[in-house]
Amino acid sequence: MFVIAGVTGRVGSAAAQALLDVGASIRVLVRSDDAAEAWRLRGADAFRVDLRDGARLTEALRDAQGFFALLPFDVAADDLHTHAQEFISSMAIAVQDSGVPHVVMLSSGGADLPADTGPIAHLYALEQALARTDTVLSAIRPGHFQEKISDVIGTARIEGVYPVFAESADVPVAMVATADVGRVVARALLSHPQSSEAIDVVGPVYTEREAAGMLGELLGRPLEVITLPRAAWVPALTGAGLPLQATELMVELYDADQRGLLAPRGDRTVHGAVELGSTIARLVGVTG
């Protein structure tokens, strides 16, 4: 039996469904009765737990063959570092105490670096904490999620603008669909590896201008691509309602990206096949 966190989210839901599709037995970790009921109807066992509750998580992991772990990012948390540390401590304790033999963790490109990567430094800390336990760790390190485009769909639809937090909109960037990442997670769980490894997951390559073109076509209006210079990032993000600490972490992340710090450097690389056009079509509600 595999225990899967984050099943109301993007990667966790794709991983859980991929496992159900091959007849694997899964227990999903949820925080609401609605989510529990929805997954029971799909054939999963459901267990209510907050990932920051180490004792209850230990209970959920007993007798599991593998655990899919992720570190949720909550911009509304009072202190993002303390918030991340609560998840890291709880999950590391539960993994050690339950004796679960294999953990597949949703990490990120750049999580081999301890600092200067914004929220990815928390994923570095989680990788390190899990590596100190007795489990075998498969760290899944995707690059940019294609679904990040959902952040700009509202602005594009209403204002006809596609903002880019970089000096150029013409830099080729690998963008991976979370459905592909979920399938990599499921395969990793089913493989029962004997040793730990870091697996980079990269998708097809696009420029932001190409992404804007695809989105504009699906919305039925041309979009003006606006590149935001670094000095404009803080006012743009705080103006959109992001708290200051989260804004500072995002700026550090964008800087890291521009410096090439998020590039694949794991033990091997897996390629996602889903094209950005079909992801955007799904996000805007057009059958693609």
Q: Which residues bind ligand NAP (CB under 6 A)?
A: 5-12, 31, 50-52, 70-73, 106, 108, 119, 123, 142, 144-145, 148, 178
**Nearer CB in complex with ligand NAP: 151/267:** 151
CB of 261 to ligand NAP, least distance (A): 13
Residues 22 and 45: their CA atoms lie apart, in Å, by: 16
3-state helix, strand, coil in the chain (%, to 5): 45, 20, 35
Element (H, E) at 185: helix 178-191
Q: How far is the CB of 240 from ligand NAP (least distance, A)?
A: 16
Helix ranges (DSSP H) in 192-275: 208-219, 230-239, 244-258
Q: Which residue is nearest to ligand NAP (CB)?
A: 9
Contacts of 159 (CB under 8 A, 6+ apart): none
Amino acid identity of 202? Answer: V
Q: Are 196 and 130 in contact (CB under 8 A)?
A: no
CB of 97 to ligand NAP, least distance (A): 18
Q: Which C-beta is closer to ligand NAP: that of 91 or that of 214?
A: 91
Q: How far is the CB of 126 from ligand NAP (least distance, A)?
A: 9
Which lies closer to ligand NAP via its Cβ, residue 134 or residue 207?
207
CB of 213 to ligand NAP, least distance (A): 20
User: Which residue has 């999903």 as its token pair?
Assistant: 28
- Of 81 and 192, nearer to ligand NAP (C-beta) is 81
The smaller minimum CB distance to ligand NAP, of residues 192 and 207, is found at 207
Q: Are 172 and 140 a contacting pair, CB within 8 Å?
A: no
